[in-house]
Structure 1
Amino acid sequence: MSGAYAVLHDPEGLLDAELPLDRAPHEALVTAVLAWKDPDLAPCDYEQIALQLTGHARAVAADVRRLAAALPKSDGRGALAELILREADGRLAAPAQGHRVLRPDRARLVQALYTRLDRLPEPAPVSP
């Protein structure tokens, strides 16, 4: 059946937590967007880039949120993560269409989320 899709019920977000981020290509895209002066791309290319950055920012934010939630309340890294997550939520709530990708907001957001992610410890594995 062409164009069909299935909606998965994952209220605990376990699927997202188990899928590793495809970091390298997105970091290369962020670098390219931040280096742009006046690219001459088709409108659909700008839209695709905006969608890629938005989707990846949401995925990285989910990882930051998961790791920050595992920290003790007294750990300052969790508070810093909450700040960047509030900013991310605000930026991601606004639509990113077409030429708006030229403004490097989404690229900088992905960069900031990765910076925060890299500073959060992976939780210790839980034994069964």
Structure 2
Amino acid sequence: MSSHTVLHDPHSLIEAQLPLDRAPYEALATAVLAWTDPTLGVRDYEQIALQLTGHARALAADVARHAAALPKNGGRGALADVVLRETARRLSVPAAGTARCLQNRARLVRALYARLDRLTEPLSATA
């Protein structure tokens, strides 16, 4: 008998209600972008790539949820669509396990947070 419970959430409704743990990923992105000549092992690169990629995917889903709630004729939603298409394109490429690849993933995380911030700020602040 298994002690695990399988959760069926095809519309990601539970995930939508959980806040992202932003601070550690912003700190990781900052650290990765500060690298000039890292000497990490292959497994370290792989682990960081998994962390940044997974968080970028969660962020993209959050951006998509917020963009979907906006009026269709608004500029914020259109720009979010552009960012999401670019995110999908960049995440479709497997992580190479290099400092350059990780820095690109870190930039992606930063761009997604910037877009999320723009989507969640009051409309009067964006005018």
Any idea what the Cα deviations from partners look like across 1:34-57, whole Å, max 9, x if unmatched?
Answer: 110111111100000000000000
* SS in structure 2 of the partner of residue 96 of structure 1: coil
What TM-score, normalized to structure 2? 0.87
Q: Distance in 1 between matches of 2:75 and 2:31?
A: 32
| 8 Å Cα contact 1:33-1:102 kept in structure 2 | no
Give the structure 2 partner of residue 76 of structure 1: 75
Going from structure 1 to structure 2, the CA distance change for 1:66 and 1:40 (only over 3 Å counts) comes to same
Alpha carbon RMSD of aligned pairs, Å? Answer: 2.0
Closer, same or farther: CA 6–48 of 1 in aligned 2, 3 Å: farther
Question: Following the alignment from structure 1 to structure 2, what is the Cα–Cα distance between the partners of residues 85 and 33?
Answer: 22
Match of 2:16?
17
Task: Determine if the alignment matches structure 1 residue 112 to structure 2 residue 121.
Answer: no
Equivalent residue, structure 2, for 1:44? 43
> Percentage identity across aligned positions?
68
Shift of 1:6: 5.4
Tell me the CA shift for residue 7 of structure 1: 4.6
Which portions of structure 1, spanning 4 or more consecutive aligned residues, are displaced by more than 6 angstroms?
Answer: none
Structure 1 runs not aligned, ≥5 long: 123-128
**Cα deviation digits, residues 70-126 of structure 1 (max 9, x gap):** 000111000000000000001111111422x4331100000000000000137xxxx
**Structure 2, gaps ≥5 residues long:** 122-127
More helix by share: 2
* Count of aligned pairs between the two proteins: 120
* Cα 1:5–1:54 shift into 2, 3 Å: farther
Question: Which AA in structure 2 matches 1:96?
Answer: A
